Amino acid sequence: MTMLANVWAYFWGTLTVVPFLGFPLVYLVVYGWKRDKKLAGRWAVNITNFLLIRSVVAAYGIIWPQALSAWWWVVCFFLITIALLGWVQVKFKGKLSLKKVGFSAWRLSFLWFGIVYIVLFTTGIVKTMGVV
């Protein structure tokens, strides 16, 4: 591999292991580019959410290699969350806005996958320590 490919691989590997590192990186880049704190914060949360989902899927696959793919759990989480939020919205407002439900599910997934990441990270450490 070339040096640039190695740097890129280490960068993505680092962001997979520590996805929260993506938040300040994206925030600083977007803020430096657009000079808008609110936009930089939104971009940072969205990109960090993608990194969290990627990290959770990778950690799940490493901890339980023979289990069902974690992507199915991610899809099920989003489908169930969207269905429940849609039901609540129809119940209280009388109409459904898929845009609002989608944004709400995406924001809740940041919290959910952050918690799942921490649980899987500690589970991986404990499992590895048990092997040694």
Distance CA 85, CA 14 (A): 34
* The pLDDT of residue 26 is above 90: yes
pLDDT in the model for residue 14: 92
* The pLDDT of residue 131 is above 80: no
* The pLDDT of residue 38 is above 90: yes
User: For the chain, how many structural domains are there in total?
Assistant: 1
* The pLDDT of residue 71 is above 80: yes
pTM of the model: 0.88
Compute the radius of gyration of the chain from its Cα atoms.
18
pLDDT in the model for residue 36: 94
* Domain limits for position 67: 3-131
Confidence tier at 130 by pLDDT (50, 70, 90)? confident
Please state, as a whole number, how many other Cβ atoms lie within 10 Å of the Cβ of residue 55: 23
